């Protein structure tokens, strides 16, 4: 059984390599991190565990098919940290019906079912999160994925320390496409769009002024459209 915080969509993917792509989100409950700026604490903290529903892979796919009117699309496994959950049976079940699976994780837990994914986004957490990256475990996640999934790096940047962290991460993994996004500093309530746009411009200027031409700077598209509203 997989602990599910919420399943919603179709909506559009707002971040990273699949930005703008129609998606159904399967958000699992539970996480091994406690990032200072986490915007999904309801899928992270154990005090919300009574709101998480244990669901079988079949039940999840039944819900997804209902939402997507039985038309295959990308299923985004999100969290929390979905790598904490036993998703190994879910992926081939959905792929049998032409659904694609994308996973985003911080790279702190490796699972052998990573190799079955279509897209793996590794999003190590920078200093502003208050977390420390175990790069050995991060490497294990890449090894577990093998050669099938498309693998990308996505890093949230709030300040100069985060920016330096992102540069170091990119240097460690030069073969992986890198996506940078400005951090959302106001995750509860109405989004501070002016603040987000200023941080986005600052990040774009940093990248271009440093001739960092391999980095791709993106907004959180869903926040630009819907603010911090949950479930879209």
Second CATH level (architecture) for the domain 2-226 = Alpha-Beta Barrel (3.20)
Domain segments of the chain as ranges: 2-226
Quick one: tokens of 219? Answer: 């907004």
Cβ(1)–Cβ(208) under 8 Å?
no
β-strand pairing of 74-78 with 119-122: unpaired
What is the distance between the alpha carbons of residues 66 and 69, in angstroms, rounded to a whole number?
5
Per-residue confidence of the chain (232 residues) as pLDDT tens digits? Answer: 999 999 999 999 989 999 999 999 999 999 999 999 898 899 999 899 999 999 999 999 999 999 999 999 999 999 999 999 999 999 999 999 999 999 999 999 999 999 999 999 999 999 999 999 999 999 999 999 999 999 999 999 999 999 999 999 999 999 999 999 998 876 666 777 888 889 999 999 999 999 999 999 998 887 877 776 766 5
- Rounded Cα gap, residues 160 and 42, in angstroms: 29
């Amino acid at each position: 059984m997989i602990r599910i915080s919420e399943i919603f969509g179709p909506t559009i993917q707002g971040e990273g390599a699949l930005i703008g792509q129609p998606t159904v989100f399967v958000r699992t409950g539970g996480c091994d991190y406690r990032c200072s700026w986490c915007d999904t604490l309801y899928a992270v903290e154990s005090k919300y565990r009574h709101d998480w529903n244990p669901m079988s892979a079949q039940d999840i796919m039944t819900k997804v098919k209902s939402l997507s009117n039985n038309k295959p699309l990308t299923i985004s496994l999100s969290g929390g940290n979905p790598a904490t959950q036993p998703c190994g049976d879910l992926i081939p079940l959905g792929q049998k019906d032409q659904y694609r699976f994308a996973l985003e994780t911080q790279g702190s837990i490796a699972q052998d079912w990573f190799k079955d994914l279509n897209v793996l986004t590794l999003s190590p957490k920078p200093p502003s999160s208050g977390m420390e990256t175990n790069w050995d475990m991060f490497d294990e996640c890449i090894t577990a994925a093998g050669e099938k999934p498309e693998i990308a790096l996505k890093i949230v940047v709030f300040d100069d320390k985060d920016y330096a962290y992102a540069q170091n991460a990119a240097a460690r993994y030069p073969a992986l496409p890198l996506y940078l996004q400005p951090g959302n500093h106001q995750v509860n309530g109405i989004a501070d769009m002016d603040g987000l746009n200023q941080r986005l411009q600052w990040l774009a200027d940093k990248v271009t002024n440093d001739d960092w031409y391999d980095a791709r700077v993106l907004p959180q598209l869903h926040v630009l459209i819907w603010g911090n509203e949950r479930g879209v």
